[in-house]
Structure 1
């Protein structure tokens, strides 16, 4: 290993060690804090300067031109779901193949460091902690010059603001490669049984509560809403935005610098959802659900009327649900009707030996062909195009279902922004929130916990070279 490689490995290991210490310190509190996106954590390792490399012109797409074979390594936790995407990329660029490098439960930075040490550096990676750690340690490229020269990304209309979500120090350090939406799942058979009409797409949070109460019949073991943490994790966090009590998901303010979880409006939102458990009885607590064998903790059992689900749930519903089901968008509040989206950031690693080819894979995500493929999996399109608007109604996944809700989730989805929040892994919005709603926690518990975390995130933010 040459001197440069040893230096690179040294700062990567430093970054991994720092991040691992923080993650370990938070693991006890976050054991049940599965928000659907990776937890973020601060990193304070000293950054190593990265060279600014001007990208060359995009590689030719002409398969008749002779190219040297290239194998790209992508570090991710993807299983077989993305194999068809790798194959489609290889069909378009026959000289480039994709090797998925699984993390196997390890921190991304640790896997990247190991590949560097072996002399086989990765080219691209998904993200599993805050992006400040990636930028401050100089392991990612600024994607702006690549975007500016890429013919695919320059030829489409990308959702406003999408490419600027993950900017650190003016650099685009990552780009969302997927937009995973969420909806309210509806058991239409249970609606019919209780004489309740399917709500319209502009339904409200008051409508949701009213319907949940009407569907609740304890003598039949039926309840309005599935006992699941997502009501607090997804719905309550979105309601806070819909009613003007927060600017971003997880009760964050406009510049993502402070939590508003201890403010009167958000605390009232918690009391509102808690009353579904303690007053209405339309959601069972964890303990009460357990006494019934956790039947009402699984929407597929058909014993609950409403649940929260994402694109990953839809194939399972088609295959295993023995009742008529559909979807609704998240309800309207006093200030709007936001939805909940999970974005997957992808970065181009500074240590890549094939940066231009690696960026081709990023830009490939924004081609109309691949946008259609992602829509077929239930995910949202990242580009604005009339053909894609019409395509929603043609997708077999949504045959006979409420495609209007799909379109609303595309237009109104608010992304999780934990990747841009220092000390996010220490923020107990979810663990404490679930304890309050489903266990014996009290809304007042949020006051001191939020004050402490707000101080902590500002301390970490001030230590960063921003």
Structure 2
């Protein structure tokens, strides 16, 4: 598959295939230890010996960091023994339903935002609302609301996010310098972006201004594609597709024209020539870059790079955001112990240790963000990610429908046809609405009847 930006799946494929990632090195920085208690836990009374089991998706390079956290946690909680199963990201999302069917779910599992709603509907995880309400020292309000909403089901919190990131503008400083152009600035509009993309395109060098492949609908992508024009993918109830508007048509046409009219973005066929994609290969000047892509860029990009705010469009400034979290499963025999672990793991100190200091990605807590901003993997102007989360990033839909997978398949099939120049914007919108509306309606009926 071709991706305009590095998806989470692509990021994990790259890092899993390459040993010794410096930015994901497992060892804590000198003088750094895992949080003693997340600033939240009191000394534990003597208790029976228990084993907590986990379903993680960390690749090999990051597992020692997890194991260090767990080692120190077990020192603080000598009655707890931790056992972890590590899956690949893609395999995990298939294995969890298998575990659920067999009644063998671990106590705690990783949950990508895309899967939270259907897994919660199916009863795979339990609500942690009572823990949140009764644990005065666990400051859930310190987590971005946009991150929390991904894991809410029927008015209750089911999982707690550990990261949540927006997509903003990444750029190749070397290519801008060679062209004598100023770097993208916070006041850039989409017209400025288009002008620069055209100016930085050189077919003779196989060089393009923008990485070209239209974003995936959902998982952050549709926000960067639609929101600057004031367009939306679907309504808040996720039962109506909202692409049949002038704003949506103008937005989609802008990105299609970058590929097929201005030739300022590589076609899917041209992108296939680069194993890691034209962006990481240094052949494009700009990309919409997620915070979770920054470790890969820091380790693999053969060029100097940085980030800027996502440009404003005629409808204002806006972009998408998405993330991941952890939850306690229905098969857990130790839910209280599971919460005791999560309250430390997902505290400010826990997020700093696990994801901030390692440069792994943008923590879901603002108080933990400083550790990520100061990490080696963060670009010079990483604060623009924080600015987006505070001001204009929105969690992309769909994420509250049982039809998430089906509707994304419909939309991304049309996206691929647009990429290849095999359909028009009007025809793609009509097809998405015609095929997608019955899917959403059926999912709504199923939800209402449960």
TM-score by length of 1: 0.76
Q: 2:191 aligns with which of 175, 197, 206?
A: 206
Query: Over residues 359-394 of structure 1, what are the superposed CA-to-partner deviations in whole Å (9 max), with x where a residue is unaligned?
Result: 123222432212323223252232344xx4655553
Assess if the C-alpha contact under 8 Å between 2:147 and 2:323 holds in 1.
Answer: no
Corresponding residue of 1:405:
384
Q: 2:422 aligns with which of 432, 436, 440?
A: 440
Corresponding residue of 1:360:
340
Q: 1:242 aligns with which of 218, 228, 247?
A: 228
Corresponding residue of 1:185:
170
Tell me which moved more, 276-285 or 426-435: 426-435
Which structure has the larger Rg over C-alpha atoms? 1
**Pair 1:287 & 2:287 matched:** no
**Pair 1:375 & 2:356 matched:** yes
Task: Report the secondary structure of 2:163's partner residue.
Answer: strand
**Pair 1:112 & 2:93 matched:** no
Q: 1:338 aligns with which of 302, 318, 334?
A: 318
Assess if the C-alpha contact under 8 Å between 1:75 and 1:112 holds in 2.
Answer: no
Corresponding residue of 1:62:
43
The 5 A counterparts of 1:23-62 are: 36=7, 61-62=42-43
Q: Distance in 2 between matches of 1:140 and 1:282?
A: 45
The 5 A counterparts of 1:244-393 are: 244-246=230-232, 251-290=233-272, 293-294=273-274, 297-373=277-353, 374-376=355-357, 377-385=359-367, 388=368, 391=371, 393=373
Q: Distance in 1 between matches of 2:223 and 2:373?
A: 29
Q: Distance in 1 between matches of 2:291 and 2:417?
A: 27
Unaligned runs of 5+ in 2: 10-39
Assess if the C-alpha contact under 8 Å between 2:172 and 2:305 holds in 1.
Answer: yes
Q: 1:319 to 1:110 in 2, by over 3 A?
A: closer
Assess if the C-alpha contact under 8 Å between 1:72 and 1:99 holds in 2.
Answer: yes
Q: Distance in 1 between matches of 2:372 and 2:314?
A: 29
Assess if the C-alpha contact under 8 Å between 2:2 and 2:271 holds in 1.
Answer: no
Unaligned runs of 5+ in 1: 1-29, 39-58
Corresponding residue of 1:431:
413
Tell me which moved more, 101-110 or 226-235: 226-235
Alignment length, in residue pairs? 403
Q: Distance in 2 between matches of 1:406 and 1:236?
A: 17
Q: What is the RMSD of the two structures over their aligned residues, measured on CA atoms?
A: 3.2
Q: Distance in 2 between matches of 1:310 and 1:384?
A: 17
Q: 1:320 to 1:164 in 2, by over 3 A?
A: closer
